[in-house]
Structure 1
Amino acid sequence: MGEQHRAKGIKRVLLSHRELGPQQIIIPPSWSQVAETISLQNGPNHPIVLVCGPKNAGKSTFSRYLINTLLNSRYQRVGYLDTDVGQPEYTPPGCLSLHVIDTQTPDLAVPCLKTPERCFFYGDISSKRDPDAYLDCVFNLYNYFREEYKLSNEQEFHETYHLPLVVNTPGWVKGVGYDILVNMLRYIGPTHVVRIQISDSNKNLPAGAFWFGGDEERPVDLINIDSAQIDSLNRSVLVQKHGRLVRELRIIAYFKQCFSKDLNITAYKELANALASLPPYEVPISSMKVLHLHCQVPSSEVFYSLNGTIVGLSVSSTKSGKCRPLCVGLGIVRGIDILKGLYYVITPVSPRDLEKVDLFLQGLIEIPTCLLQVKGCVSPYMSTNVLTVTT
Structure 2
Amino acid sequence: MENLESLPFLLENYISSWIPIQNSNYFKFEILIDSQPQTCIILGFKNNEKLVFQGCISARLIQGSINVNASELLVNEWTSIYSCGTQGLLFFEASNSEFSIDYKTSINCKDSDQIQKILNSYPNVLQIISDTTGLIDIQNVLSTQNSIFQPRKYKIPQVSPDINICHEHNFRNFVSIPNFFPFWSLYTENNYKSGCIGSLVFPPQWTNYVEELKGSDGDKDLRIIVAGNKSSGKSTFARFLKNKLLNEPSAVYWLETDLGQPEMNVPGVIALHLLQNPNNLNIETVHITSTYKNIECVRAIGPQFINSANRKLENPVRTQTPSSSSTVLGSVYLGMVTPKENPELYINAISQMMNIYSDLIENVNGVLVVNTQGWTKGMGLDLLADVINLVLPSHYVQMCENSDTDLFFARQVFPTHTKIDMMTTVTGDYGLPHFSLLDTTSKTLDVVESSDSSDDTNSQLAHNKYGVSTYSKPNAKSRIHAHTIRNLSVVCHMYGKSPTGNWKFNVPLTHRLPIAIPFASVQIWICDNDIKQSQVLGLLNGSVVGVVAKYAEDTKKTRELEINNGWPDSNWEFCSLGIIKSVDSAKQIFYLLLAPNSFLRESNFIQLGFVKGPGPHENGIELPVETFIHGGVSDSVMRMNSTNTFESFFSDPLVVQKSNNLNDSPYLSIGTKKT
User: Structures share a fold, TM > 0.5?
Assistant: yes
Check if 1:132 corresponds to 2:306. no
Output the CA distance in 1 between the equivalents of 2:576 and 2:368: 23
Check if 1:277 corresponds to 2:451. no
AA aligned opposite 2:626: C
CA change 1:350–1:141 in 2 (3 A) is: closer
Gaps of 5+ in 2: 1-133, 140-144, 152-195, 279-298, 312-327, 430-440, 451-480, 553-567, 614-619, 642-675
SS in 1 for 2:586: coil
AA aligned opposite 1:235: T
Equivalences for residues 1-391 of structure 1 within 5 A: 13-15=137-139, 22=197, 24-73=199-248, 75-103=249-277, 107=301, 109=303, 111-113=305-307, 114-115=310-311, 116-150=328-362, 162-198=365-401, 206-207=406-407, 209-210=409-410, 212-213=412-413, 217-228=415-426, 229=428, 233-241=442-450, 242-257=481-496, 265=505, 274-316=508-550, 323=570, 325-347=572-594, 348-350=596-598, 352-353=600-601, 356=606, 358-363=608-613, 364-373=620-629, 384-386=638-640
How far the C-alpha of 1:77 sits from its partner, in A, is: 1.0
The structure whose residues are more often strand, as a share, is: 2
- TM (normalized to structure 1)? 0.79
Q: Flag the structure with larger Rg.
A: 2
**8 A Cα contact 2:584 2:590, kept in partner:** yes
SS in 1 for 2:387: helix
**8 A Cα contact 1:133 1:323, kept in partner:** no
**8 A Cα contact 1:54 1:198, kept in partner:** no
AA aligned opposite 1:368: P
**8 A Cα contact 2:224 2:368, kept in partner:** yes
AA aligned opposite 1:143: N
Output the CA distance in 1 between the equivalents of 2:415 and 2:504: 54
Output the CA distance in 2 between the equivalents of 1:221 and 1:324: 35
Measured against aligned partners, the alpha-carbon deviations of 1:220-240 in whole angstroms (never above 9, x if no partner) come to: 11010122549x844113334
How far the C-alpha of 1:259 sits from its partner, in A, is: 6.4
**8 A Cα contact 1:22 1:236, kept in partner:** no
Output the CA distance in 1 between the equivalents of 2:514 and 2:602: 13
| Matched residue, 2:295 | none
Measured against aligned partners, the alpha-carbon deviations of 1:155-199 in whole angstroms (never above 9, x if no partner) come to: xxxxxx821100000000001000000111122110000100136
Output the CA distance in 2 between the equivalents of 1:41 and 1:380: 62
- Matched length: 353
SS in 2 for 1:372: helix
CA change 1:31–1:198 in 2 (3 A) is: same
Output the CA distance in 1 between the equivalents of 2:135 and 2:274: 33
**8 A Cα contact 1:80 1:101, kept in partner:** yes
Output the CA distance in 1 between the equivalents of 2:548 and 2:304: 28
- TM (normalized to structure 2)? 0.47
Output the CA distance in 2 between the equivalents of 1:62 and 1:36: 14
How far the C-alpha of 1:280 sits from its partner, in A, is: 0.7
**8 A Cα contact 1:87 1:246, kept in partner:** yes
How far the C-alpha of 1:107 sits from its partner, in A, is: 3.5
CA change 1:200–1:286 in 2 (3 A) is: farther
Output the CA distance in 1 between the equivalents of 2:446 and 2:210: 17
**8 A Cα contact 1:109 1:239, kept in partner:** no
SS in 2 for 1:69: helix
CA change 1:175–1:331 in 2 (3 A) is: same
CA change 1:351–1:61 in 2 (3 A) is: closer
Output the CA distance in 1 between the equivalents of 2:150 and 2:229: 23
Output the CA distance in 2 between the equivalents of 1:55 and 1:11: 28
User: Which portions of structure 1, spanning 4 or more consecutive aligned residues, are displaced by more than 6 angstroms?
Assistant: none
Measured against aligned partners, the alpha-carbon deviations of 1:124-153 in whole angstroms (never above 9, x if no partner) come to: 0000010000000011101110122147xx
Structure scoring higher RCO (CA < 8 A, sep ≥ 6) equals 1
**8 A Cα contact 2:550 2:572, kept in partner:** yes
Measured against aligned partners, the alpha-carbon deviations of 1:234-289 in whole angstroms (never above 9, x if no partner) come to: 41133342201000000111112166865764xxxx76xx1112111111111000
How far the C-alpha of 1:31 sits from its partner, in A, is: 1.0
Output the CA distance in 1 between the equivalents of 2:593 and 2:527: 21
The CA RMSD measured in Å over matched residues stands at 3.4
**8 A Cα contact 1:47 1:164, kept in partner:** yes
CA change 1:337–1:259 in 2 (3 A) is: farther
CA change 1:31–1:64 in 2 (3 A) is: same
Output the CA distance in 2 between the equivalents of 1:65 and 1:147: 27
Output the CA distance in 1 between the equivalents of 2:242 and 2:233: 14
SS in 1 for 2:247: helix
CA change 1:191–1:200 in 2 (3 A) is: closer
Output the CA distance in 2 between the equivalents of 1:371 and 1:322: 31
CA change 1:316–1:106 in 2 (3 A) is: closer
Output the CA distance in 1 between the equivalents of 2:525 and 2:417: 42
**8 A Cα contact 2:223 2:393, kept in partner:** yes
Output the CA distance in 2 between the equivalents of 1:200 and 1:247: 32
How far the C-alpha of 1:330 sits from its partner, in A, is: 1.1
CA change 1:19–1:182 in 2 (3 A) is: farther
SS in 2 for 1:97: strand
Q: Which moved more, 1:293-302 or 1:325-334?
A: 293-302
CA change 1:19–1:237 in 2 (3 A) is: farther
